[in-house]
Chain A
Amino acid sequence: MEVLNEIKFTMPSLSVNEATARAVVSSFLIQADPTVEELSDIRTAVSEAVTNAVVHGYRNSKGSVELTVKLLKDREIYIRIKDKGCGISDIKQAMEPLFTTAPEEERSGLGFSVMESFMDKLKVKSAVGKGTTVVMRKRLSLHEN
């Protein structure tokens, strides 16, 4: 993995930081000149992953959420969102469309579906009591300015 540039950003698990995470990613990606649609896709996927950390990872507690964004060679974007929250006991079930453990908050259970649809690759690692790490990748198109 040849890294051309990267940032690491840590924030408390406050819901207001869902927007902060989107803003950080957008600012960093300006250098790669993504299309409007590509940037929307990435912002949406990041928002879903950070929301999962806030709502599910730290449901009854507060902690930190770490966001890493890397610009790789051949216009590939690598994004990692990591929390040290409660973890996921059954990742396969959690990734099923419409599955949610927070229906009272009107969570639609589509967070992972959005990440899968809007990014090229999605990997989820989790351990109960230790936390969850989501890694997503997307290759940006080559386009004329």
Chain B
Amino acid sequence: MKMEIKTGSGGATALLSGEIDHHNAKELRSQLDKFIISVQPALLVMDFKNITFMDSSGIGLIMGRSKLIRECGGCLEVRNTQPYIRRVLRLSGIERIVKIT
């Protein structure tokens, strides 16, 4: 599991690569939370282009980061989700809270 964060004028993008499960989510959560708290971006995009697997651990990861960034005055978007990952996300209704494409 790898993550690369790039910041620009419009916000920040976290490019995630690999598999999101309960084991990997812990490290991602920690890295993303440090970034959100220290930088407080207006927009954080979680780019799922290179995510090859995700179970319901990803739902908790997204919901938790969405809550934290809103508390810091920003917002979260999730982009480039594969159809299969959207099926997992749809079960949670998270698309009503976070913009997912």
- Is chain B a partner of chain A in the same complex? yes
- Judged by a CB distance under 8 angstroms, whether A37 is at the interface is yes
Q: How many residues of B contact A (CB 8 A)?
A: 22
Q: Are B21 and A114 in contact (CB under 8 A)?
A: no
The segment from B5-13, B42-50, B60-68 that touches chain A is B60-68
* 0/1 interface trace, chain B 9-25, chain A, CB 8 Å (1 if under): 00000000001011101
Give 9 closest A-B pairs by Cβ, nearest first.
Answer: A106-B60, A15-B23, A108-B59, A47-B55, A110-B56, A51-B22, A108-B60, A40-B84, A106-B64
19 contacts between A and B (CB under 8 A): A18-B21, A19-B21, A22-B21, A37-B84, A43-B53, A51-B21, A97-B91, A106-B29, A106-B57, A106-B60, A107-B56, A107-B60, A108-B56, A108-B57, A111-B56, A113-B91, A117-B87, A117-B91, A118-B87
Q: Are A110 and B61 in contact (CB under 8 A)?
A: no
A interface, size bucket: 20 to 34
Nearest A residue to B65, CB-CB: A106
Given the interface pairs A37-B84, A110-B59, the reply to whether A15 lies near B22 with Cβ below 8 Å is yes
A54 / chain B contacts, CB cutoff of 8 Å: 22
- Judged by a CB distance under 8 angstroms, whether B88 is at the interface is yes
- Judged by a CB distance under 8 angstroms, whether A55 is at the interface is yes
Q: Which residues of chain A have a CB within 8 Å of any CB of chain B? A: 15-16, 18-19, 22, 37, 40, 43-44, 47-48, 51, 54-55, 97, 105-108, 110-111, 113-114, 117-118
B45 to chain A, nearest CB (A): 20
Which of chain B's residues 29-81 have a Cβ closer than 8 Å to chain A?
29, 53-57, 59-61, 63-64
A19 / chain B contacts, CB cutoff of 8 Å: 19, 21, 23
Separation of A97 and B82 alpha carbons in the complex (Å):
23
Q: Are A51 and B55 in contact (CB under 8 A)?
A: yes
Most buried by A among B25, B29, B57, B84: B57
B22 / chain A contacts, CB cutoff of 8 Å: 15, 18, 51, 54-55, 105, 107
- Judged by a CB distance under 8 angstroms, whether B101 is at the interface is no
Nearest A residue to B19, CB-CB: A19
Nearest A residue to B20, CB-CB: A47
Q: Are B91 and A106 in contact (CB under 8 A)?
A: no
A44 / chain B contacts, CB cutoff of 8 Å: 53-55, 88
Given the interface pairs A114-B88, A114-B91, the reply to whether A18 lies near B56 with Cβ below 8 Å is no
